[in-house]
Amino acid sequence: MSAIDKLIEWWDPIAALRRRSAREALASYESAERTRYRKARRSDRSINDLVQSSAVATRAQIRYLERNHDLARGVLRTLVNNTIGPAGIGIEPQPRLADGSIATDYASALREAWQDWQRHPEVTARLRWPQVQRLVARTWMRDGEAFAQDVIGKLPSLEHGTRVPYSIELLEPDMVPLDYDDEARGVRQGIERDSWGRARAYWVHKSHPSERLAMINARDLKRVPAERMMQVATIDRIGQLRGMSEFASILARLDDLKDYEESERIAAKIAARLTAYVRKGTPDMFDPNRDAAARDADGNLLPRDLRLEAGTIVDGLSVGEEIGLIDSKRPNPNLVMWRQGQLRAIAAGVGVSYSSSAKDYNGTYSAQRQELVEQWVNYATLTDEFAGMFVRPVWETFVRVADLSGVVRMPAGMRPDMADDALCIGQSMPWIDPLKEAKAWQELTRAGFATEVEVMRKRGANPRDVLDQLAEFRRDARARDLVLSSDAATDLAPAVHVAPPEDDLADTIARVTRAE
C-alpha cells in the first residue's frame, strides 16, 4: 500500500476498501480471479518440468486403456488409419536439374530402388514400409513421441536385405530416458543440446529399461548423434523437448466411461439373474403351523422350493403371501444418450470424428459430408506433421545413401539439394457419394479449374502408375483384338499408346482422358 492508501485507510476504511477493489478490478482479468464459485488453477512450472513429472504416468495409463478398453483402442486406430492410410504416405520423386526440369531417368531409378527398399525398411526385417509408418504413428499418438535411428552402410552384424544399404531402428520413448540430466554436457531429459537449444545428440538405453532389474546409470546409455536420430513428437509449447500423449486431456473421461460401462454391464447381468421374492404380508397373517406336509419327520419346517420356469404356476403360497418381481432399472435407458455425449467430448478432445469413434453413421448426406470435410483438416494436419518429422527425413537419407553407395548415382548437372525433392502423397479424403463427387470433379476438369493429375492424387493414386496401367491394359486388349467401349466411342483409339518419356505428364493424362 502506498502512503496515500494508508492515510485513506486510517481516515475512512470503507473508502480505502472501495479504492482497493477498484484497483484490483482494473488491474486484472476476471477469468484470472479465484472465487468460491470458480477455481483459478495456476502453475508457473515450465513445460519441460510438467512433461517430466507427468509423461511416464500418462503413457502407462493410455497403454493400459489401449489394451483393455475397446473405445480407446478404436479411437487410436481411427487416428492412425486416417493419418497414414492403408498404403502409407507415398513418395513421388521430383528431382530437378539445374535448369529446373525434372530428371526423369533419375526419378525412375529412385522410384525403382525405393520400391525395393520398402520391403525391408527396418532392422528386424519384420515390417514393410506402410506398417512401419503406422506403428510409428501409433506410438507417437499414444505415447506422445517415438524415435528412430538411421543405420547406414555395411555392418558385420546386420544384413539390410535391400539394394540400398540403409535401415531404420524403431525406438519407443522409454528408450530415451526422461529423467537423465547432465548439466555439464547440456543434457536435459535425455537430449543433448547446444546453446541455441538445437539437439546435438540423444542418449539412448542399450536395452529396454523395463527389462532390467538393476539401477540405470550412464554406462547403460549410448550417445547417438542428432543427424542419425528422428524424433516424432507432439509439441504443444515453445521450448518443449519431449512429447506428450494426444490422449492426455481425455484420459480421465475415457477411464470414467470404461468404469461406468462396466458397472452398468455388471448391473444388467445381475438384473438378468434376479427372479422374484415372496412378500409375507402383515404379521397377523403369518401361520407358523402352515402346511403339515412341509415338515420333516421331526416336525421341522422344510424350506419351500419355488423354482420359476417357463409357464410355472405357483400355488403353494400361504395366506397374505404374494410373488414380487425385482426391478433393478437395468439396463439404464439413459445410458445411450449419456454415452453419446461422452464420446462427442472424447472425439473433440483427441481430434477424430464422432461418427468414426462411436461407429454411429446416422444423418443426411450433407451432415456427413460437413463432418468429414471439417474433420479431414485435422487428419491432413497430422499427415503433414508426420511426413515432415519422419517420412521426408527417411527419404532424404535414402537418396543420399543411394548415391554414396552407387546404387542410384546422382546425374551430372544436378544440385545435391535438389536431388531429394519429392511430393508426399497422404491419405485422400473418401467420397461419401461417389456419383456426386465424380460429376463434380468432371465438371471442374472440363472447366479448367482442376487437372486430371489432381483428381488422381485426390483419389490416392499415383498418376504415373495410372498411365502405365492404362497403356499396358489397352496394349494387351488390342493384342487380343478386343475393342473397349471407350475406344469404340471415338476415333482416337490408335492415339492412346504408351506416352514417350519426354512428354509432360499432365499433357499425357489429358490426352488419355480425351481419348477415353
Last residue of some domain: 412, 428, 444? 428
418 in any annotated domain = yes
| Same domain for 166 and 48 | yes
224 in any annotated domain = yes
| Same domain for 130 and 70 | yes
Q: Is the pLDDT score of 493 beyond 60?
A: no
Number of domains in the chain: 3
| Same domain for 460 and 345 | no
| Same domain for 108 and 15 | no
| Same domain for 23 and 170 | no
| Same domain for 248 and 144 | yes
| Same domain for 455 and 361 | no
Q: Is the pLDDT score of 454 beyond 50?
A: yes
Q: In the prediction, which pLDDT does 359 show?
A: 78
194 in any annotated domain = yes
Contact 218, 282 (CB under 8 A): no
| Same domain for 516 and 370 | no
Last residue of some domain: 403, 428, 453? 428
Last residue of some domain: 397, 412, 428? 428
316 in any annotated domain = no
415 in any annotated domain = yes
Identify the residue with better confidence: 35 or 185.
185
User: Please, what's the b/e burial string for 76-113 (b: 16 or more CB within 10 A of its CB; e: otherwise)?
Assistant: bbbbbbbbbbeebbbbbbebbbeeeebbeebbebbbeb
Q: How far apart are CA 5 and CA 11, in angstroms?
A: 10
Q: In the prediction, which pLDDT does 498 show?
A: 44
Q: How far apart are CA 350 and CA 498, in angstroms?
A: 47
CA angle 53, 244, 152 (to 5 degrees): 110
Q: Which of the four pLDDT bands, split at 50, 70 and 90, describes residue 306?
A: low
318 in any annotated domain = no
| Same domain for 409 and 264 | yes
User: pLDDT for 257-267, tens place per residue?
Assistant: 999 888 888 88
Q: Is the pLDDT score of 386 beyond 80?
A: yes
305 in any annotated domain = no
- Structural domain including 8 reads 3-32
Q: Which residues, other chains included, contact 336 with Cβ-Cβ below 8 Å and sequence gap of 6+? A: none
The continuous run of DSSP H or E covering 166 comes out as strand 166-171
487 in any annotated domain = yes
| Same domain for 266 and 215 | yes
Q: In the prediction, which pLDDT does 487 show?
A: 61
Q: Is the pLDDT score of 287 beyond 90?
A: no
Q: In the prediction, which pLDDT does 473 show?
A: 82
Q: Which of the four pLDDT bands, split at 50, 70 and 90, describes residue 73?
A: very high
Q: Which residues, other chains included, contact 485 with Cβ-Cβ below 8 Å and sequence gap of 6+? A: none
| Same domain for 242 and 152 | yes
Identify the residue with better confidence: 287 or 226.
226
pTM listed for this prediction:
0.76
| Same domain for 139 and 69 | yes
Q: In the prediction, which pLDDT does 274 show?
A: 67
